[in-house]
Structure 1
């Protein structure tokens, strides 16, 4: 795409380019001049630079420039840049780093991708070739680490989640709440966008790592620690809130019958995998680990590569109306196994640590009930799925 055509499309799609910069005076002017070939809708955030950045920016009188008196971090720079872009009425912002690793002539790649995306509810991340010569080993490792946790938290597989060359949908960004201020912000923003059902996708871009002029402000120990803390929190939210929320939304929308037909019978998983998913769900749902059922079943389903939707659905076997019966049955099984006959009078339970005996009886019984029920449900469902598959195969060949 030639620059003039790209300029027209950038205008029609209401896109600006956001450049956060901090002490990159060796490459900053080249980046700005490269972007100006495609658009003058540019917002630059000077994040408290102490080098020659201020003099370089003084050469440009037609750009929007935000200046911090002290360095606040890339996350703050991007957040302030987004606020300014939204205030100016832009719908999308392309972010490009000022350290020279990105090529401004890749801007049309983002514009083309946006133009072809039907809903425009999308966030594009430029995918670098991390295998090419000159890419630092720490960057390649950090990217793989980030890709894994992004997949765990969103279910979306990407090849590059750390590239700063991106296109953001500002109408979504303006409604999100952010807490991070440094490099980890670029992880927080894509995860929370994905949680809002934004399509997060990679598109191929060029990359240049020139150690003679590139200045990286990434501090391996401090920033990696910040990223690890953020991912720990995001994983917790994923297991405790996001996955259960998505399941219940899906379940409510489809109804029991439709859910069973589409997500259970319609799943392309093997009968064995579906049966094991049901067994896992039933087992976790009947254990005495109240309050942790959702977290455990989703984590184990992911870890064991089972069907998360099926496992989560059957973990809800301990719905409120069934709880008294589950507790009663678990207690009776525990009494049989331990050879005891517990009293259920309140005054006797609260004396001489009798409640400990009752708790032990219940725990032993509940795990036994969970194991037996999981085996029964697993075997029956496995046979059912085998028969269902055979009938479908016969019908398709009939």
Structure 2
């Protein structure tokens, strides 16, 4: 395979979004063309006001898309994806035009796909090494944290623009963002779809004399923060429950209990703590927020989210009357009060007004019941799991 045929095996191309980088763009283009033909290069000129248009005239064989005005990197990438897909390409390497990436690293992405199959690959710039600007290193750690929270996948670099996208797998995903935050949205939603998202080591050059960054710290950081807030809510209320329900439906409770509870790699203490957390949340008085609360606490406490979520469903509909009754009885006994009216088991419509009339007793009783039940079931699970491991 000659140097200009590097993409043939994966049917790929290169997409270069550019905005006012006329100074460094020729060097990037020349480097890219050492590894692929001009027919596999797509440049999206995102409304540049410098001499970018004149520079691209000298590369007449590449595909140049000139947008009339600047709409953001995300819009430029999505425009490039549409063009690449229309031309039948299955993969696209994206590389920034500011000169910080080395086009000679392009074959690394292709070899990774050839070896391990379809994936979304993100160049790992080793952001903790000497010479990396402090604000860039901090921003990357911030992004890595939220990506792990939203997907459960740990990456060392989630902000690099040097990437390889599997275009076929991304076609049916709906995206909404158009600025820098698109590069966060696309990897999170790809992970939610089950697409492998991995890092691959690359080199990077930070040259203050040449590099022109269009990232606006306050405005773009705010956009990214708003996006992450939305993605966290979607993850907590839809993605995680969806995945867990799929697991239950596919495995059934018995198989789930044997495989995910007894045979997972977590220690007995971690599994038992996850059981205790789930039971405590499931019996707590925070109705309507159980899923959000259990997943948040499981992530913060680094417990088994699937086990915690499963046991948070201890308050199943048939058990709710008994749970409410037990909470009221415990609360009244501890406070030395009397509920007065009898609790009507069969009339669901009376539950809410009855609880509202005796809210103090109910809240105290539910917290006590949740704590005691969590302690008993958590301890029992620990001894059962320890015995199982020994056996």
Taking structure 1 as the reference length, the TM-score comes to 0.92
Structure 2: where are the runs of 5+ without partners?
344-348
Q: Name the residue aligned to 1:375.
A: 375
Alpha carbons 2:283, 2:366 under 8 Å: kept? yes
Q: Name the residue aligned to 1:26.
A: 23
**For residues 110-147 of structure 1, what are the alpha-carbon distances to aligned partners after superposition, in whole Å with 9 as ceiling and x for unaligned?**
111111113x2x10001112234432111111111111
How many equivalent pairs are there?
382
Q: Does 1:385 align with 2:382?
A: no
User: For residues 388 and 12 of structure 1, what CA distance do their matches in structure 2 show?
Assistant: 49
Q: Name the residue aligned to 2:73.
A: 74
Q: Name the residue aligned to 2:98.
A: 99
Q: Name the residue aligned to 1:318.
A: 315
Alpha carbons 1:334, 1:365 under 8 Å: kept? yes
User: For residues 238 and 194 of structure 2, what CA distance do their matches in structure 1 show?
Assistant: 15
Task: Give the stretch that moved more between structures: 74-83 or 125-134.
Answer: 125-134
User: For residues 172 and 360 of structure 2, what CA distance do their matches in structure 1 show?
Assistant: 49
Alpha carbons 1:73, 1:183 under 8 Å: kept? yes
User: For residues 222 and 7 of structure 1, what CA distance do their matches in structure 2 show?
Assistant: 40
**For residues 258-297 of structure 1, what are the alpha-carbon distances to aligned partners after superposition, in whole Å with 9 as ceiling and x for unaligned?**
1111111102222222211111110000112112111111
- SS at 2:13 equivalent: strand
Q: Name the residue aligned to 1:251.
A: 248
CA 1:273–1:83 in 2, change beyond 3 Å: closer, same or farther? same
Q: Name the residue aligned to 1:108.
A: 107
Task: Give the stretch that moved more between structures: 372-381 or 359-368.
Answer: 359-368
Q: Does 1:240 align with 2:237?
A: yes
Alpha carbons 1:294, 1:312 under 8 Å: kept? yes
Structure 1: where are the runs of 5+ without partners?
392-398
**For residues 229-256 of structure 1, what are the alpha-carbon distances to aligned partners after superposition, in whole Å with 9 as ceiling and x for unaligned?**
1111111111111111111111211111
| RMSD of Structure 2 on Structure 1 (CA) | 1.8
Q: Does 1:197 align with 2:187?
A: no
User: For residues 224 and 68 of structure 1, what CA distance do their matches in structure 2 show?
Assistant: 25
Q: Where does 1:245-284 land on structure 2 (aligned, <5 Å)?
A: 245-284=242-281
Alpha carbons 2:4, 2:33 under 8 Å: kept? no
Report deviation, 1:6: 4.4
Report deviation, 1:379: 1.6
Alpha carbons 2:6, 2:35 under 8 Å: kept? no
Q: Name the residue aligned to 2:357.
A: 357
**For residues 55-87 of structure 1, what are the alpha-carbon distances to aligned partners after superposition, in whole Å with 9 as ceiling and x for unaligned?**
001112211111111111001111111111111
Alpha carbons 1:6, 1:111 under 8 Å: kept? no
- SS at 1:366 equivalent: helix
User: For residues 123 and 308 of structure 1, what CA distance do their matches in structure 2 show?
Assistant: 25
User: For residues 129 and 366 of structure 2, what CA distance do their matches in structure 1 show?
Assistant: 55
Alpha carbons 1:147, 1:160 under 8 Å: kept? yes
Q: Does 1:366 align with 2:366?
A: yes
Alpha carbons 2:123, 2:202 under 8 Å: kept? yes
Alpha carbons 1:151, 1:157 under 8 Å: kept? yes
Q: Does 1:165 align with 2:162?
A: yes
- SS at 1:107 equivalent: helix
Report deviation, 1:341: 2.2
Taking structure 2 as the reference length, the TM-score comes to 0.94
Q: Where does 1:208-219 land on structure 2 (aligned, <5 Å)?
A: 208-219=205-216
Q: Name the residue aligned to 1:178.
A: 175
- SS at 2:48 equivalent: coil
- SS at 1:5 equivalent: coil
